[in-house]
Amino acid sequence: MNLAVAIGGLAFLILIHEAGHFLVALAVKMRPRRFYVFFPPALVKWTRNGIEYGIGSIPLGGYVKIPGMHKPAAGDLDAQLEPARQEAPEVAAAAEPVERALAEERLGDARGAMPALHAAVEGAELSEPARRAALRGIGDVDDALSPEAYWRAPAWKRISVIAAGPVTNLVFAVAALAVVFMLGVPTSATRTVEEVAPGSPAAAMGLRAGDAILAVGGERNEPAELAEAIRESGGEPVTLTVERGGEELELTGTPRRDPEDDVYRLGFAFGLEYEDYGPLAATGQAFETTWEVTKAIGTSLGRIVTGSGRDEVASVVGITTISSESLEAGFRYYLQVLAFISLSLALLNLLPLLPLDGGHIAFSIVERVRGRAIPRAAYERVSAIGIALVLLLFFIGLSNDIDRIRGG
């Protein structure tokens, strides 16, 4: 159950990211063509005001299609029209004026020739796969030629639409952390035992939840010092002085070495004192925490570039595992982890690499400076580099996650 909720949380973060793109695109009159909850193919779909809405069959995140991401070129129809060309010569004849106009950048003429191409495909005797591919290609070029096309829009509109996804994740991170601070955050440990692990040395020595630990080895200190004395026991028996029901008892047990961090533990947890905040103070704390975590992530990315931060990378597997484990600790911890994942998604997507959002923002700025659109081929070449780097990060993270699962 925890795993399903963790996966659902990650899918939710992707969904609100796509919803950010979708809503801002609507606001700036760049009408999206599709918006799906989950990924296509569709289980259910309907059209309203020219936009196809649907519920996809792949239950992860969401999907939004914005028209005309790139300036159309003569080769845009080639791959998807080729099967139809081979099956029906009239399709090739109808495509020729469109492709010639696109090659000569006569976009108005190309748009005027599109209805004849569409009619040729509809009227030709084609196999269903060839027809679907041809209509998909025609639809993409139609979108790229339309006044609502992304590439035609002023740079500020394009940047607004693309930045909306990461900004939505950032806003969610701040809001979620504010809720965490309003619910209360731990400030210090109490002397009271909150939990005793089954089968642990603490359970064997008779320690119970609700006991108050007063001393370790006769030394009466604060909870942090008491815990430190147990960790540094070297595996030798220790005696706890505890208060139970108004009486003081002495319990003796032998700490067990924890191989993960090479310290000794009895297997119990102290209770925690919490401090909660009002809405304004909680929001201020949330912004401060977001900034501190952002700096830490930036430092971590710098270490990855130099090679020293490889072990800090996690894939979707590791992120889901961490989310699932945080659920066991309680809702506030899960919400905090979800906020940090949302912040990480925002920052990752703002890296100036195509096909990430930051890459599209960077290219929009370059296009604004040079005064004309960058050819699609250039986008594709740079995207290949970005995809390779993202895949490299993914495989490093997956390798780290497998090592952690194996205990390596």
**What is 210-243 written as a DSSP string?**
T-EEEEETTB---HHHHHHHHHTSTT--EEEEEE
pLDDT, mean of residues 16-24: 94
315 and 401 assigned to the same domain: yes
258 and 372 assigned to the same domain: no
Please state the φ and ψ torsions of residue 208, each to the nearest 5 degrees: -125, 155
Q: Which domain holds residue 86?
A: 74-145
Neighbours of 13 (CB within 10 A): 23
Q: Which residues contact 80 (CB under 8 A, 6 or more apart)?
A: 133, 134, 136, 137, 140
| CATH number of the domain encompassing residue 226 | 2.30.42.10
Whether 106 maps to a domain, the answer reads: yes
Structure tokens given for 271: 């209770």
Q: What is the pLDDT of residues 208-251, one digit of tens each?
A: 999 999 999 888 888 888 888 898 888 899 999 999 988 999 99
Taking the C-alpha atoms of residue 166 and residue 346, their distance in angstroms, rounded to an integer, is: 4
Q: Which residue has the higher pLDDT, 403 or 78?
A: 78
* Least confident interval from 42-46, 76-80, 276-280, 365-369: 76-80
271 and 306 assigned to the same domain: no
**pLDDT band of 320, cuts 50, 70, 90:** very low
Mean pLDDT, all residues of the chain: 84
H or E stretch including 386? helix 376-406
Contact 315, 392 (CB under 8 A): no
Q: What is the pLDDT of residues 39-71, one digit of tens each?
A: 888 889 999 988 999 988 887 678 899 998 888
Q: Bridge-partner residues for 273, per DSSP?
A: 188
314 and 371 assigned to the same domain: yes
Res 312: pLDDT? 54
Q: Is the pLDDT of residue 305 over 50?
A: yes
Whether 184 maps to a domain, the answer reads: no
Whether 60 maps to a domain, the answer reads: no
365 and 387 assigned to the same domain: yes
Q: Which residue has the higher pLDDT, 361 or 9?
A: 361
* Least confident interval from 16-20, 199-203, 311-315: 311-315
Q: What is the pLDDT of residues 135-191, one digit of tens each?
A: 999 999 999 999 889 999 999 999 999 999 999 999 999 999 999 999 988 877 888
**pLDDT band of 315, cuts 50, 70, 90:** very low
Three-state SS at 126: coil
Domain end (from 275, 309, 325): 275
Res 377: pLDDT? 78
301 and 389 assigned to the same domain: yes
Contact 325, 340 (CB under 8 A): no
140 and 197 assigned to the same domain: no
Domain count, the chain: 3
Three-state SS at 187: strand
Tell the burial category of 343 from Cβ atoms under 10 Å away from its Cβ (0-12, 13-18, 19+): buried
